[in-house]
Structure 1
Amino acid sequence: MNRKRLVLFGVALGLVLAGGVVGWWGHTDGGDLTIRETQIETDGGTIDAYLYVPPGVTPDDPAPGVLATHGYINSKETQAPFAIELARRGHVVLAIDQTGHGYSDPPAFSQGWGGPPALAYLADHELVDEDRIALEGHSMGGWASVAAAATYPDRYESMVLAGSSTGSSGAPPGNATFPRNLGVVYAEYDEFHWLMWETETAPAAPESEKLQSVFGTDERIETGRTYGDVESGTARALYQPGTTHPGTHHSPTAVGQVVEWIERTTGGDTSLDPDDQVWHWKELGTAVALLGGFLFLFPTIGTLSEAGALSAATRSVPEPVAERDRGWLVSVALTALLPVVTYYPLMLLGSEAMPLTAVTPQNETNSIVLWVLGNAAIIALLLIVWHVRSDRTFAAARDRYGLDAGDGAGTLGRSVAIAGGTALALLALLFAFDAVFGLDFRAWVLGLKLPSALHVRIAAGYFPAFLAFFFALELLLHGRLRTPAATDSLPRAIAGNVGLLAGPFVGFLAVQYGWLFATGALPVPITALQAIIAFQFVGVLVGVGAVSTYSFHRTGRVWVGAVLNALLVTWLVVASQATHLPL
């Protein structure tokens, strides 16, 4: 193994280790908190959860309890900021995977989004004071909280809806007395203002008639003011932190507001100031570990591509087909623009047009699949047009595209082995990280989780679509767009391809959120979910561009990059999405 590769292995593993130590420290408050993996058995299947237990809590000395529930296409890990800070203040916190999310059994949306059975479990837990229980839910998790409160009205004392509402998408409606002692933490730039509190803009939430009816007033609601009375269960307060919908569970201000309300209404330990927070160390640690896991891919690819019989799958990088002429510039422009232009139409169409089946049981994955297949078709069409207009034959360009199969099935098999071995090495690294630190690789809304057996089964159905897309992308990046400069310099090639793939989505999000911050609403409000998903696209496309380019330069062919990216992205997407059928 060459020295540079050894150093990169060391850097990658060092980042994973350092990230794990820092993340564990933040997640457990320096080891003071005990975090137990918990399964709640119900008639509708198993609900997976973390139970955060503060020091000194025993069956003889129980503590106030909090049920914390994440939003749509998230998992219990995104509730860590709330869970950590509430547990530090003496609450036993149950953070669940909603039904059909994370490791909880599908289908999604069943059993009141998982809220009622989770509340029943928490209220009966020996470590919890059943007379002092609060509910906290972000986005769709708020609907789970409202459903739990309606099912068991005598088993909780207060509630916080973070970026959520009553009476939306089947959640029970609210009024001046239900839910009990309600705190609403609603971001000033929440993308779902039209869905949650039915206003034209997010900043207009205090003027929402729906919210006012819950507060028992017909006047504009004053943020920070307490309406009603805690003792009678009619207390209400509205907070508007200056963040977005997904930012609500990553905002020190919002976390502090949630903590303050729950402590006020359940009598928790108020000795810590709401601004005294450590959860960000957990988030920093898992983000550093995610970076380390990403860097780990490159020396692994390089090592496997030179290992024994697998080295027969590699060759030198072929000469490029393209030159930096006018046609090349047009191709670059189309490559940059088309994925963004097709993003909203194909994503929205996919959620409606692709049926939920045993092979395609995840609604948002279906949206992504239609987008990738649509773009694969566009890439294929552009390549055909370019070859016809330039009077080239595909057969003549095949070798220079990295499409040759060497000795046939042997080369293809070795290429698949290199890709599969790299993915398995990353899986083993994540398994060890989870076993030692109890964490996953995660940066805000982008998280790489260990797949469950069900995730593996579902991924097998989606894998061919992602493989088709990444095969087409390989042909585009390393065929039509690869110039002599990108052939001679690996760093330049990686930078160019990463910028070409991820850069347009950065610009796209800048326009979307610039509009939101200026006007209080997205340009097309109903695209709120797709706008939030686009943040993950930026991180994914950075990884795709780098892995694809590095693999091509190490093997001289497109096979490893296409298969490896398809494996990794299918894994990441499927494990992070909601499953909508009872498989």
Structure 2
Amino acid sequence: MSTTRKQVVLLALSLLLVFSGSALAHWGQTAGGSIDVRHVEIDTENGGTIDGYLYVPEGVSADDPAPGVLAIHGYINSKETQSSFAIEYARRGYVVLAIDQPGHGYSDPPAFANGWGGPPALEYLSEHELVDEENIGLEGHSMGGWAVVSAAAEHPDSYESAVLVGSSTGSQGAPEGNETFPRNLGVVFADYDEFHWLMWETGTAPATSGSEKLQSVFGTDEAIEDETVYGSIEDGTARALFTPTTTHPGAHHTPAAVSDAVSWTQMTLDGADEDPGDHIWYWKEIGTAIALLGGFLFLFPAGSVLARPELFGDATRTQPDPITEHDRGWTVAALLTALLPVLLYYPTMLLGSLAMPVTAVTPQGETNGIVLWALANAVVIAALFGLWHRNTDRSLFDERYGLDVGDGAATIARSLAIAIGTVGGLYVLLWIVDTLFMTDFRAWILGLKLMSALHARIFVTYLPAFLAFFLALEVLLHGRLRTPETTQSLPRAIATNAAVLTGGFAVLLVVQYGVLFTTGALAIPITALQTIIAFQFLALLPVIAAVSTYFFHRTGRIWTGAFVNALLITWLIVASQAIHYPF
């Protein structure tokens, strides 16, 4: 098959995956057309807005209102991660409001404002003409649980029951709970929840039933029995604990956890009595995952077309010969490449908010940690590469490193143009999907979303740091680790680079979760958030390796691959992280 025909086939396949996956996601999100998903905006007291989706079941009207449910996501997530709950509630006749917390998604910053968004969202839902104001339930995952507890405290007469999924009362400033507040409380807390120490103050997740804090909310001093109702639903003092076998992020993507939440809401609100275990939400998740795969795949044929010599001339050349061999030196360099990023990961992520405080220029706390990690890696790579290069008689701009600039600024500009066209094409593709299907590209906690105007501004400020990292990474992969074998075979090169980049993080997660599943706690419990974020690294690093390797083979230099990765990853991170600065 000719190269051109391969590109056409790959482009067709990527588009097929994007649109078929998005159509499937739309079918799942609307339950085959029986749910009308509407975009809403909620005004807040400080003059900002909260973005949300309103899921309206078929047949609901102002003359025939339905029970309502407020569903709120956790930290550095968005309303889309509540789809599993929202879809299943709406299928059972509830009008569901799923919001972006302040500073998340498309809601105005800063994060944590307005009671994490809970009180204004509940006020909006309880006053909506489609909702029975006497029949409203609350559901929140992780930090979203603190939002619904805050909503319950501020509007005590506007709800009938609440479900905390992987969450708690009285944490991080959320109102304290007791045996009467919140009203009719269900707690869904996973057997392997990484935040057991923060939420219910236990040494291990399986010890939750013996938590003194939880027992005080249940009105007992004995271990709480799973799936047993304490108190009275009629009096509003009912409590129940559910412990699905999953993890903290798994609690919003596990049938057992969704069933537990739906079951409790059905028990405590008037209305639906359908089987809580009958689900279709996972089709939406499968669809967005297929679309995400198609979106990443789209980068390669799109970039290949733009990298044709007749379009951008000197930006593309024949791939140069390698410098290194697959010998002991290569093995040492590969091991350092796999291990050093992991060794730097926790220190830089945990110190990120201190070393890079939240400002108008650096407004995202977790992104600051990732940036510090990226810059630390860039410095280490430059130092190690410099030591290796120093023992040679080569020029730093030896074409075999891929660092040469050809026609100078013109070559860099053309390489950047290829990257902008490639990533811009993916952005347009996502915009079309959002317009047609009201979905994004997403797999579990990894999501590629359109940027707001504020995201675009933040994107520009973080882009240089990520570009520095990817330039250093390109030199490492293609100047130090590229062998004759990986030069001759693109599939082998992609597989080798992906294994080198992801190996360390794979080991990290195996160790952390091996200990968690064995003992009930992570090996380093305080790193729970960073450990969950590491799952996204594990998913993205193979994509980064593939993009980097493909464009080096296609253009013969490091520039285009570094630009594509910097644009793509900065976009993905900025659009999905919380904004902490009060713009």
TM-score normalised by L of structure 2: 0.99
Map of 1:125 onto structure 2: 128
Map of 1:550 onto structure 2: 550
Map of 1:429 onto structure 2: 429
Which of the numbers 139, 146, 168 marks the counterpart of 2:142? 139
Deviation at 1:398, TM superposition (A): 2.5
Alignment pair present for 1:391 and 2:410: no
Map of 2:173 onto structure 1: 170
Report if the CA contact (8 A) 2:95-2:130 is conserved: yes
> Which stretches in structure 2 are left out of the alignment for 5+ residues?
none
Deviates more, 1:65-74 or 1:305-314: 305-314
Aligned residue runs from structure 1 range 469-508, under 5 A: 469-508=469-508
Aligned letter for 1:282? K
- In structure 1, C-alpha distance between the alignment counterparts of 2:245 and 2:313, rounded to whole Å: 54
Alignment pair present for 1:258 and 2:261: yes
Deviation at 1:311, TM superposition (A): 3.4
Query: 1:392-412, CA deviations, whole angstroms, 9 ceiling, x for partnerless residues?
Result: 3443x5211111111111111
Map of 2:97 onto structure 1: 94
SS in 1 for 2:528: helix
Alignment pair present for 1:346 and 2:322: no
Map of 1:186 onto structure 2: 189
- In structure 2, C-alpha distance between the alignment counterparts of 1:237 and 1:307, rounded to whole Å: 66
Map of 2:323 onto structure 1: 321
Map of 1:112 onto structure 2: 115
- In structure 2, C-alpha distance between the alignment counterparts of 1:9 and 1:324, rounded to whole Å: 34
Query: 1:218-265, CA deviations, whole angstroms, 9 ceiling, x for partnerless residues?
Result: 000000000000010000000000000000000000000000000111
Aligned letter for 2:348? L
Map of 2:85 onto structure 1: 82
Map of 1:526 onto structure 2: 526
Map of 1:286 onto structure 2: 288
Deviation at 1:351, TM superposition (A): 2.5
Map of 2:32 onto structure 1: 30
Aligned letter for 2:297? L
Report if the CA contact (8 A) 1:304-1:311 is conserved: no
- In structure 1, C-alpha distance between the alignment counterparts of 2:342 and 2:271, rounded to whole Å: 48
Map of 2:515 onto structure 1: 515
Map of 1:442 onto structure 2: 442
Aligned residue runs from structure 1 range 145-294, under 5 A: 145-270=148-273, 272-294=274-296
SS in 2 for 1:463: helix
- In structure 1, C-alpha distance between the alignment counterparts of 2:323 and 2:455, rounded to whole Å: 40
Report if the CA contact (8 A) 1:372-1:466 is conserved: yes
Aligned residue runs from structure 1 range 455-466, under 5 A: 455-466=455-466
Alignment pair present for 1:570 and 2:573: no
Aligned letter for 1:70? H
Identity %: 65
Query: 1:124-168, CA deviations, whole angstroms, 9 ceiling, x for partnerless residues?
Result: 000000000011000000000000000000100000000000000
Deviation at 1:329, TM superposition (A): 1.2
Aligned letter for 1:174? G
Aligned letter for 2:95? V
Deviation at 1:504, TM superposition (A): 1.9
Deviation at 1:95, TM superposition (A): 0.1
Report if the CA contact (8 A) 2:75-2:143 is conserved: yes
- In structure 1, C-alpha distance between the alignment counterparts of 2:416 and 2:360, rounded to whole Å: 26
Deviation at 1:213, TM superposition (A): 0.0
Map of 1:42 onto structure 2: 44
- In structure 1, C-alpha distance between the alignment counterparts of 2:529 and 2:539, rounded to whole Å: 17
Map of 1:311 onto structure 2: 313
SS in 1 for 2:38: strand
Report if the CA contact (8 A) 2:44-2:114 is conserved: no
- In structure 1, C-alpha distance between the alignment counterparts of 2:461 and 2:381, rounded to whole Å: 23
Map of 1:417 onto structure 2: 417
Report if the CA contact (8 A) 2:309-2:315 is conserved: no
Map of 1:356 onto structure 2: 358
SS in 2 for 1:539: helix
- In structure 2, C-alpha distance between the alignment counterparts of 1:393 and 1:8, rounded to whole Å: 39
Aligned letter for 1:228? G
Deviation at 1:328, TM superposition (A): 1.4
Query: 1:30-88, CA deviations, whole angstroms, 9 ceiling, x for partnerless residues?
Result: 01100000000122200000000001100011000000000000000000000000000
SS in 2 for 1:2: helix
Aligned letter for 1:536? Q
- Number of paired residues? 580
Map of 2:380 onto structure 1: 378
Map of 2:403 onto structure 1: 403
Alignment pair present for 1:369 and 2:407: no
- In structure 2, C-alpha distance between the alignment counterparts of 1:112 and 1:451, rounded to whole Å: 24
- In structure 2, C-alpha distance between the alignment counterparts of 1:455 and 1:79, rounded to whole Å: 22
Aligned letter for 1:217? T
Deviation at 1:268, TM superposition (A): 2.4
- Superposed CA RMSD in Å reads 0.9
Deviation at 1:307, TM superposition (A): 6.1
- In structure 2, C-alpha distance between the alignment counterparts of 1:381 and 1:99, rounded to whole Å: 41
- In structure 1, C-alpha distance between the alignment counterparts of 2:314 and 2:406, rounded to whole Å: 9
Query: 1:430-467, CA deviations, whole angstroms, 9 ceiling, x for partnerless residues?
Result: 00011111100000000000011100000111001000
Deviation at 1:312, TM superposition (A): 2.7
TM-score normalised by L of structure 1: 0.99
- In structure 2, C-alpha distance between the alignment counterparts of 1:23 and 1:268, rounded to whole Å: 27
- In structure 2, C-alpha distance between the alignment counterparts of 1:430 and 1:542, rounded to whole Å: 21
Deviation at 1:385, TM superposition (A): 1.1
